[in-house]
Structure 1
Amino acid sequence: MLLGTALSGAVCFVLALVLRQRLGFTAWTLSALAWSLVVIAIITLIPASGAPGIVPAEGRLDTCSFDIGGPAPDGFWIFSGGQRLLNTVVFVPPGVLLVLTAARWRIGLVTVPLGLVLLAAFSAGIEWTQLELARIDRACDVTDIIDNVTGAVVGVVVGLVLALVVRPWRLRR
C-alpha cells in the first residue's frame, strides 16, 4: 500500500512538472487531485487481511448493505474516530482540490458540481468493485457512499473558502 502510494505520488509529481508551464498553479492542484483519487482507490481496494484469500460462495454477499449507519467496524489503528469518520475525511482533499483546480476558469461554476457528482460516482464504483471482488474481503455498504459524498461536500466548501484566499484565477501565466 505504501509503495503504491509513493509510486503514484511520484508519477503525479512528474505530471505536475510537465504541466506547470502551461497551467501554472493549476498543474499542482490537478496532479494532487489525481493522486488523492489513486490513494483512495489503493486504501479501499487493497484486501482487508493483507492478501487475497478465498471467500466461500455462500459467504459472499450478493447485494450492497442498505442499512444506513450499518455494521461498520469501530475504527482503525491509524484513525480512532471510526470507519465512518475515516470514510468522510478521506474524501475532503479531493473536494478541496476539485474547487482549486476548477476555480481557474469561469466554467468552474459548472465543473465543480459536475466534479462532485463524479466523486459520488467514484465512491459508488469503489463500493461496486468491493461487492464484485469478494476475494478482497471488503463489504459494499451504502453508508460508505453517503459518508464519502459528505466528505466531498465538506471539501468543496473548504475549497471555496480557500479559493477566495488563494485566487487561482489570478495565478495565470
Structure 2
Amino acid sequence: MLLGAGLSGLVLLGLAIVLQRRTGVVWAWAFAGLVWSLVVIALVTLLPAQGDPGVVYAEDRLGTCSFDLGGPAPDGFWIFPGGQRLLNVLIFVPPGALMVVAAARWRAGRVLAPLGLGLLAAYSVGIEWTQLELARLDRACDVTDVVDNVAGAVLGAGAGLLLLPVLRPWRARRRATG
C-alpha cells in the first residue's frame, strides 16, 4: 500500500509539473493532488484487510451490504490510529477540498463542484460495491462508510471554499515579460 501511494505520488508529481505551465500552478497541483488522494483511497480500501486473507468461500461471503447505520466499526487500521468512522470521514476531506479548488478554475465551477461531490459519493458507493463483490478482499460493505465518506467530502468542500480567496485558482500565473 505504501509503495503504491509513493509511486503514484511520484507519477502525479511529474504530471503536476507538466500541467502547471499550461493551467497554472494552483490548478495543476490541486488536480494532481485530487487524483493522488483518490488513488490512496483505493489502495487503503481495496487492498485485502490482512496481507494474505486466504480463501473466502462463496457460501461464507456476505451477500448484501450492511444497512445498519453506525454498525460495527473497529478501532482503526493497522497503520492509522483512531476509530474507523473518523478515518472514513478524514480520508475524503482532501479530495473534497482539492476538487473544489480544481473546479474553481473555470466559470462552470459552480456546477462542477456539486457534480464533483456527487462523483465522490459515487466513488464511495463503488468502493463499497467492490468490497461486497470481491470476497477475497476480506472487507465488508457498509452503508455507514458511504455516509461517513460523503460527510468527509462535504467537509473538504467547505475547506476548499475557504481556501479559494487565498489560492485564487482562476488566475493562472502570469509570466514576466521582458
Report the TM range for the smaller structure's normalisation: over 0.9
Q: Which runs of 5+ in 2 are unaligned?
A: none
Where in structure 2 are the equivalents of 1:128-147 lying within 5 Å?
A: 128-147=129-148
TM-aligned CA deviation for residue 77 of structure 1: 4.5
1:93-128 residue CA offsets vs partner (Å, 9 max, x unmatched): 000100111111111000000000000000000000
2:46 equivalent in structure 1 = 45
TM-aligned CA deviation for residue 76 of structure 1: 2.8
Cα distance in 1 for partners of 2:94, 2:78 equals: 21
Residues 20 and 28, structure 1, Cα contact 8 Å, conserved in 2: yes
1:7 equivalent in structure 2 = 7
Cα distance in 2 for partners of 1:172, 1:80 equals: 40
2:18 equivalent in structure 1 = 18
Number of positions where the alignment pairs a residue of Structure 1 with one of Structure 2: 173
Residues 53 and 135, structure 1, Cα contact 8 Å, conserved in 2: yes
Residues 92 and 153, structure 2, Cα contact 8 Å, conserved in 1: yes
Cα distance in 2 for partners of 1:31, 1:105 equals: 17
Cα distance in 2 for partners of 1:61, 1:152 equals: 27
1:154 equivalent in structure 2 = 155
**Structure 2 letter corresponding to 1:158:** A
TM-score by length of 2: 0.93
1:72-100 residue CA offsets vs partner (Å, 9 max, x unmatched): 11223443320000000000000010011
Where in structure 2 are the equivalents of 1:1-150 lying within 5 Å?
A: 1-25=1-25, 26-150=27-151
TM-aligned CA deviation for residue 38 of structure 1: 0.3
Report the more deviating stretch, 90-99 or 23-32: 23-32
**Structure 2 letter corresponding to 1:155:** G
Cα distance in 2 for partners of 1:78, 1:133 equals: 23
TM-score by length of 1: 0.96
**Structure 2 letter corresponding to 1:16:** A
1:128-164 residue CA offsets vs partner (Å, 9 max, x unmatched): 0000100010000000000000000000000000112
Cα RMSD for the two superposed structures: 1.2
Cα distance in 1 for partners of 2:158, 2:100 equals: 9
Report the more deviating stretch, 49-58 or 136-145: 49-58
Cα distance in 2 for partners of 1:158, 1:126 equals: 24
SS of alignment partner, residue 86 of structure 1: helix
Residues 53 and 136, structure 1, Cα contact 8 Å, conserved in 2: no
Cα distance in 2 for partners of 1:5, 1:77 equals: 16
Residues 52 and 136, structure 1, Cα contact 8 Å, conserved in 2: yes
TM-aligned CA deviation for residue 70 of structure 1: 0.6
Q: Which runs of 5+ in 1 are unaligned?
A: none
